[in-house]
Amino acid sequence: MDSDSFRDALEREGIVVFSAKDAARIISKPPGYTRLFLFRLAKRGKVLRVEKGKYCLQSANELEIASNLAYPSYVSFLSALAFHRLTTQIPIQVQVACTKQKKSVLFGNVRIAFIKLKRTAFFGFRRYGNMFVAEPEKAIIDGLYSPERLPLSEVLYALKQGIVGTGKLCEYAEKTGSSIVKRRLGLLLEKAGAAKGACGFKATATRYSNLNPLLGATGERDKKWMLIVNEVLE
């Protein structure tokens, strides 16, 4: 099988990132021959080595590659908001949610960072072509669970654009079972101009928590949400 036929076979199956085992199945050759086949393709630039044992076609983009390196996984946090054009920032890395610990991968000039989530948190993402990306609502909820991955100012910006579904946000926040996620969401929705109590959430916490866990406990104390508003949000 020549390189063009191999590429066509991968594209027909919707395979973006593949292993030597995948290649051996497609070209119907033993492992030794397949390794030589891939070595020659890589030398000619027909395929690219992503990490040990993983390759991709030259035409693959960074989000396609990032969301196909681990299974299951999807692009989320700031990277997903950038995909949906709901952020003012340009991500410096591709953030991928997955269910297992995985070291980051440097592919060319792009760092792909993997963030482990609980299996129960694996919902709210869709397939777009050959890539898997969080819906805007899920990217926000993931960010409220891990604010170090997504600046709260960018969450507020996304909420203010008026295209994120409040009902779905509330549903996804409830599904996390996390009090702090629901409290952060409630406060930010109000700051974004949503109706008071849009989600119907009530703070049940007896102690104040930081809105932004990366900053100190200095700022206004919001009694309704039991949050220390320790970050200036515009």
Q: pLDDT by residue for the chain (234 residues), tens digit each? A: 788 899 899 988 889 999 999 999 999 999 999 999 999 999 998 899 999 889 998 889 999 999 999 999 999 999 999 999 999 999 999 999 999 999 999 999 999 999 999 999 999 999 999 999 999 999 999 999 999 999 999 999 999 998 999 999 999 999 999 999 999 999 999 999 887 667 888 888 889 999 999 999 999 999 999 999 999 887
C-alpha 176/C-alpha 118 separation (Å) is 10
Do 80 and 110 meet the contact criterion of CB atoms below 8 Å apart?
no
Torsion angles phi and psi, residue 54, rounded to 5:
-125, 135
Please count the other Cβ atoms lying within 10 Å of the Cβ belonging to residue 124.
22
- Tokens representing 163 are 């295209």
* pLDDT for position 197: 67
Taking CA 40 as the corner, what is the angle to CA 38 and CA 45, rounded to the nearest 5 degrees? Answer: 90
* Chain CA centroid to CA 111, Å: 13
* pLDDT for position 204: 83
Angle between helical axes of 136-145 and 179-191 (0-180°, round to 10): 120
> What secondary structure letter does DSSP report for 125?
E
> What secondary structure letter does DSSP report for 96?
E
Closest CA to 52 of 119, 103, 97: 103
CATH level 2 (architecture), domain 3-60? Orthogonal Bundle (1.10)
* pLDDT for position 87: 95
Beta strands at 131-134 and 125-128: parallel, antiparallel or unpaired:
antiparallel
Q: Where exactly are the structural domains of the chain?
A: 3-60, 63-200
Q: How many helices (H) and strands (E) does the chain have?
A: 9, 12
> What secondary structure letter does DSSP report for 120?
G
C-alpha 169/C-alpha 158 separation (Å) is 12
